Amino acid sequence: MLNNEDYRMERRISKQELMKMYGVDRSTIENWKENYGLPLIEINSHSKFVRSDELEEWENNRTILRHLCRE
């Protein structure tokens, strides 16, 4: 039997959605992944997403993001 941790139906946010949410381009998202630990999951070269709960945790731990989004 599956427990809640095994059977999570979290919302997944695509790379395109992230770009719209933050008003940034693809290179910024890739920069955040490489340099700031954005938990972006790559299915293939055209399919990337982040789980909403992981994004929320990442946001809460990133003061740089708060500064960037204020500008």
Partners of residue 50 on adjacent β-strands: 13
Domain locations along the chain: 12-70
What is the structure's pLDDT at 4? 54
**Higher-confidence residue: 51 or 69?**
51
Mean pLDDT of the chain: 82
What SS3 state is found at 15? Answer: helix
**Higher-confidence residue: 17 or 6?**
17
What is the structure's pLDDT at 7? 46
Tens digits of residue pLDDT in 37-56: 999 999 888 889 999 999 99
What is the β-pairing status of strands 12-14 and 41-44? unpaired
Residues whose CB falls within 8 Å of the CB of residue 61, separated by 6 or more in sequence, listed in order: none
**Higher-confidence residue: 69 or 27?**
27
